[in-house]
Structure 1
């Protein structure tokens, strides 16, 4: 019986691409001490490799049609746990312990919610290695320029993102419309930015700064109810031009600027 891929779950499986899978194992540096969380194991091509190396693999799969395939392949392996559920509704902390590593080819249509969910579970998750659409990886990992967005800053606030390698669309079944990329997020354990600016305050200003992509900081921050004169003085104090756009600010620039805002 051949498996029919479902559009509603964003299913594009890596066909037996030994090269890509080996590369994933290499860059994610899975060791025999690691507990690995895999999201959307599909038919288990990556799962099999993870089980060869990791101490424990917890796979979360939403598609009940895949359950039989996965159970048949891996159920007799004591290192393997299959959780049949929607990852966004799963209590991750009840399945994995501290220091967990995520290695996954995630469903692209819920990339941002999955990343947010994993960051929320940073108490137990240390490192995230995921396959996403190429342009999403470029956006998250962009250091400056028009690719940067609220998502970029949301990741930067909690960890360091890195673009690792590109995977051509032909490596998947069915062949998707776009190329993919494998990237990592190493979550900070020292709360370096959180200790400087509280989360809700940080995002209040970041969202305002990006509220209209075409507008500069002066106009976008005006949505917070400040007069243009007040804003000019704040930007001037932060040594940031009033015509600057949010996409060109580093996270350090934002923190410096927000600190000035909050001290006013």
Structure 2
């Protein structure tokens, strides 16, 4: 993990305790750990079971940290309800209204993920995406 790159991403996101971060692609959990330090709440989604397990070993779930092992997309044109429903619950329980998407996406899914989030009524304050 390039720690300088993590710093660049975190600085670009401009995180504070007033933010709820949606992270797509937690990988090994390095960036997730930084989100947990900086943000008010974090919902992290990882499709790969092995990476999800690594993240679980690094990050403890809590009232403000939710880890999901699923594809963020149900189809190319639709976000997965298995992600949206826990997100709605976390928004409600945390009271945080300012959302930030911070993602490290494979090229093949970058456009569908970004466009599907933009088409929701979620009040995103910022999106920081590495492709």
Q: TM-score, normalised by structure 2?
A: 0.80
Confirm or deny that 1:27 pairs with 2:9: no
RMSD, matched Cα = 1.7
Confirm or deny that 1:85 pairs with 2:84: no
- CA–CA separation in structure 2 for the residues paired with 1:82 and 1:104: 14
Higher strand residue share: 2
Matches within 5 A, 1:3-42: 16-42=1-27
**Cα displacement string for residues 183-212 of structure 1 (whole angstroms, at most 9, x for unaligned residues):** xxxxxxxxxxxxxxxxxxxxxxxxxxxxxx
Equivalence for 2:94: none
- CA–CA separation in structure 2 for the residues paired with 1:53 and 1:82: 17
Instruction: Show structure 2 runs of 5+ residues with no match.
Output: 75-79, 92-96
- CA–CA separation in structure 2 for the residues paired with 1:35 and 1:54: 6
- CA–CA separation in structure 1 for the residues paired with 2:129 and 2:101: 7
Instruction: Show structure 1 runs of 5+ residues with no match.
Output: 1-15, 133-264
- CA–CA separation in structure 2 for the residues paired with 1:118 and 1:66: 23
Question: Does the CA contact (< 8 Å) of 2:20 and 2:99 recur in 1?
Answer: yes
Q: Which has the larger radius of gyration?
A: 1
Equivalence for 1:118: 117
Q: CA deviation at 1:118?
A: 1.1
Confirm or deny that 1:44 pairs with 2:29: yes
Q: TM-score, normalised by structure 1?
A: 0.42
